[in-house]
Amino acid sequence: MKKIKIKTPAKINLTLEVLNKRQDGFHNIQSIMQTISLYDILTFELSESNFLSINLSGNSGEIPYNSNNLVYKAANVFFERLKISNCKLSVFIEKHIPVSAGLAGGSTNAAGTLLALNKVFNNPFGDFELNELCSKLGSDLNFCLKGGCALCTSRGEIIEPLPAYIQKVSLIKPKNLGISAKEAYTKFSLLENKVNPDNTHKLKNLLIKGEFNNSLLYNSLEKALLQDYPQLQKIKCNVKNSLMTGSGSAFFVLEDKIKNFSDENNYMIYENLITTKSGIIFED
Catalytic residue among 140, 146, 173, 204: 140
DSSP secondary structure letters along 165-206: ---EEEEEEETT----HHHHHHHHHT-SS-----HHHHHHHH
Number of Cβ within a 10 Å radius of residue 259: 12
DSSP secondary structure letters along 111-139: HHHHHHHHHHTT--S-HHHHHHHHHHH-S
- Give catalytic status of residue 2 as yes or no: no
Catalytic residue among 11, 73, 146, 173: 11
Residue (of 124, 50, 52, 134) closest to 89 by Cα position:
52
Residue 109: partners with Cβ closer than 8 Å, 6 or more residues away: 8, 40, 42, 70, 71, 93
- Give catalytic status of residue 228 as yes or no: no
Active site residues: 11, 140
